[in-house]
Each structure stands twice: as structure tokens, then as C-alpha cells.
Amino acid sequence: MLNSPLPDFTLPATSGLQFKASDYSGKFLVLYFYPKDATPGCTTQGIQFRDMYDQFSAADTAIFGISRDSIKSHENFKAKYSFPFELLSDSEETACQLFGVIKMKNMYGKQVRGIERSTFIVNPQGTIVKEWRGVKVDGHAAEVLACIQSFHP
């Protein structure tokens, strides 16, 4: 994925919106894939992006969280934690497949198919310039912001 063009895909988003990748050329884009709404790690991750949202905006960056949860689940999750960015519902795994984030994981001794927590930065020219896979939540949003700021002159 690294240094390749962002695939153009469309997904339903919270707030009744439709996300179309090509609509975001000209600005930085953070796409973070997470396993499930309202679980501890995913909540912490969303809160860290929320708390740094103004700094991301100042760096001309749009943030989107992506999971396989429904829009209804996303709306509740977003409202409960006052996320200022939209969440995308990928119930058909369209973006998950494009970005290769579906993995077999061990959960309570069983193999389950799920999203590997991953983040991608897309530059204003539409190229994926950074990717993190198997993300550890603590401090991740700050690391993503620092990376974006390093691209600014």
C-alpha cells in the first residue's frame, strides 16, 4: 500500500454522509481501521483522535474511523464520545479488503476473522505515504499527528 495511490472507494458515513475517497484530494487524510465500536481499545483510540482534532484540522487533515459496524452503531458510538469526525461503515469489507486489514486473530482461544487495528495517511496528492499495522492505541494519535506535521514545510 505504501507509496501507492489511494484506491477510490465509497462508503456510508455517520451524519447521513457518503464518503468518497476522491473527494478528499488536496488535503491530508487519516483513515484508521478499528475492530469494534464501544470496546475499550477502540474507545480510547477514538478519544485520542477527538482530543487532538483541532491540531489535525490545523494541519489541514480529515480523519475517518472505519469498522464493519453498522451506521446505527457508529452514530451511537460517535454521539456518546462526541467524536468531531465521521465514522465509516464497511459492513461489506470493501475498504478492509482494499487495505488488507482483515486478519485471523485469537480471541479467547478461538480463531476469529477481524480487523487488525491499522492507520493510513494519504497526502494531498492522493498517495498513501505512511501506514501502521497492528497499532498499539496509547500515544498513536500523537504519533500520527507528528508524522503529518513532518510533511508540512
Residues with a known catalytic role: 42
Cα(141)–Cα(143) distance, integer angstroms: 5
Question: In degrees, to the nearest 5, what angle opens at C-alpha 141 toward C-alphas 121 and 39?
Answer: 110
Strands 28-33, 61-67: pairing is parallel
The DSSP output letter for 39 is S
Residue type, 138: D
The DSSP output letter for 137 is S
If DSSP codes are grouped into helix, strand and coil, which group holds residue 105? strand
Strands 110-115, 86-89: pairing is unpaired
Sequence length of the chain is 153
Block residue for cell numbers 482534532: 53
